[in-house]
């Protein structure tokens, strides 16, 4: 099945000397569901939603979502009966007034399993990010992130006792020590670093095949701002001194629980000093020219897969903010965004 051209996170006006327009169209963003936070503590209200005639359930397993494709791809809405545990409902929210619940197809106690796809099929979240319309793509990220959190947080982080679901799936509570636990998201900075002369810094992590590179990324540390994390991570992973980080866009990345904070940053190349990969983490880091990177973006397209390349550079997939930052830089001719 062909996939639509992925939207660009930059407006056409976002060329050198202008600021990036507010980005809204990254894959895995844009859910429009009402998360119904005001209803969640009311048992009667949740019971009413479970009995709602238009209530539906979305299914997902770790990293994959259940979709239907008629008349066009969308997350498969299934009836609640037989597909959800009514005593442990995970309410995603309200969709045009109709409640939407979530079911973990990997849960051994779940009513339906990953093998039971019915009229749908399981696709990876990465595939779904490009295949589904914008709001469905964002909803898929929410679904996978929330189910993943429940799957991995069954025990109290304070006392170790088994926890119970609360707030119709948006919290867990410890019956032993009364601690409340809420879905967590881990901030990660990801940054396109350019040298102002038409080159960007790319790295290859341990475990990646030869030729596969991406822009650098790393978790925000406790007590650190994202901007500080950009500078620290670039230094740690490449020994390059980056400065002037500029925020561009963000993207939920529930593999399993990250929020990618996309930045551009500047660095000055020092001809005498090459970037140095961090031992134990990176195999290679280096500056790549606009021509090298542009060539790799063209070669990646399905209809150009046999296009001869000047290099074997392979870039991240089009679902990722990494690729969108790279594509934005290529599209504006390798020029630096204004600060």
3-state secondary structure of 134: helix
Report CA-CA distances (Å) from 83 to 1, 46, 90, 142, 172: 28, 17, 12, 19, 21
Quote the least distance from Cβ 179 to Zn ion, whole Å. 5
Contacting residue, 176, 180, 276, 304, with Zn ion by CB under 5 A: 176
Please identify, among the stretches 49-57, 173-181, 194-202, 251-259, the one whose residues bind Zn ion according to the rule CB under 5 A. 173-181
Half-sphere exposure of 75 (CA within 13 A, CB side): 31
Please identify, among the stretches 50-58, 150-158, 190-198, 236-244, the one whose residues bind Zn ion according to the rule CB under 5 A. 150-158
Q: Is 98 in the site for Zn ion (CB under 5 A)?
A: no
Q: Is 156 in the site for Zn ion (CB under 5 A)?
A: yes
Q: Is 154 in the site for Zn ion (CB under 5 A)?
A: no
Contacting residue, 159, 221, 310, 338, with Zn ion by CB under 5 A: 159
Contacting residue, 90, 174, 190, 230, with Zn ion by CB under 5 A: 174
Peptide bond into 134 cis (omega under 30): no
Q: Is 157 in the site for Zn ion (CB under 5 A)?
A: no
DSSP lists the bridge partners of residue 286 as: 202
Peptide bond into 71 cis (omega under 30): yes
Quote the least distance from Cβ 180 to Zn ion, whole Å. 10
% helix / strand / coil in the chain, to the nearest 5?
20, 30, 50
**CA–CA dist 125, 117 (Å, integer):** 16
DSSP lists the bridge partners of residue 284 as: 204
3-state secondary structure of 92: strand
Nearer to Zn ion by Cβ, of 16 and 177: the residue is: 177
Encoded one letter per residue, x for contact with Zn ion by CB under 5 A and - for no contact, window 9-48 reads ----------------------------------------
Please identify, among the stretches 15-23, 96-104, 159-167, 316-324, the one whose residues bind Zn ion according to the rule CB under 5 A. 159-167
Nearer to Zn ion by Cβ, of 133 and 162: the residue is: 162
Q: Is 158 in the site for Zn ion (CB under 5 A)?
A: yes
Half-sphere exposure of 83 (CA within 13 A, CB side): 23
Q: Which residues bind Zn ion (CB under 5 A)?
A: 156, 158-159, 161, 174, 176-177, 179
């Amino acid at each position: 099945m062909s996939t639509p051209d992925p939207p660009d996170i930059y407006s056409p006006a976002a060329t050198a000397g202008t600021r990036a327009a507010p980005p809204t169209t990254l894959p895995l963003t844009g859910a429009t569901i009402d998360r119904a936070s005001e209803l969640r503590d009311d048992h009667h209200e949740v019971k009413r939603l479970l009995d709602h005639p238009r209530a539906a359930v979305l299914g997902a397993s770790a990293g994959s979502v259940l979709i239907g494709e008629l008349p066009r791809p969308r997350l498969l809405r299934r009836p609640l009966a037989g597909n959800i545990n009514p005593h442990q409902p995970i309410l995603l929210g309200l969709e045009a007034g109709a409640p939407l619940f979530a079911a973990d197809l990997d849960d051994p106690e779940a009513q339906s399993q990953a093998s039971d796809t019915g009229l749908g099929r399981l696709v990876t979240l990465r595939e779904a990010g490009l295949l589904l319309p914008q709001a469905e793509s964002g909803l898929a990220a929410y679904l996978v992130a929330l189910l993943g959190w429940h799957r991995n947080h069954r025990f109290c982080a304070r006392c170790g006792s088994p926890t119970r679901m609360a707030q119709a799936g948006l919290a867990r509570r410890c019956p032993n020590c009364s601690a409340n636990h809420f879905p967590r998201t881990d901030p990660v900075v990801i940054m396109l670093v350019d040298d102002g002369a038409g080159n960007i810094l790319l790295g290859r992590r341990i475990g990646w095949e030869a030729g596969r590179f991406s822009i650098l990324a790393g978790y925000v540390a406790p007590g650190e701002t994202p901007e500080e994390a950009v500078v620290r991570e670039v230094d740690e992973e490449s020994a390059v001194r980056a400065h002037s980080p500029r925020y561009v866009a963000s993207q939920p990345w529930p593999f399993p629980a990250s929020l990618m904070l996309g930045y551009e940053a500047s660095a000055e190349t020092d001809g005498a000093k090459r970037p140095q990969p961090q031992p134990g983490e990176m195999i290679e880091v280096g500056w790549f020219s606009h021509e090298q990177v542009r060539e790799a973006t063209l070669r990646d397209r399905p209809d150009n897969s046999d296009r001869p390349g000047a290099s074997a550079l392979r870039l991240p997939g089009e679902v990722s903010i990494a690729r969108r930052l790279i594509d934005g830089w290529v599209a504006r001719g390798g020029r630096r965004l204004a600060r």
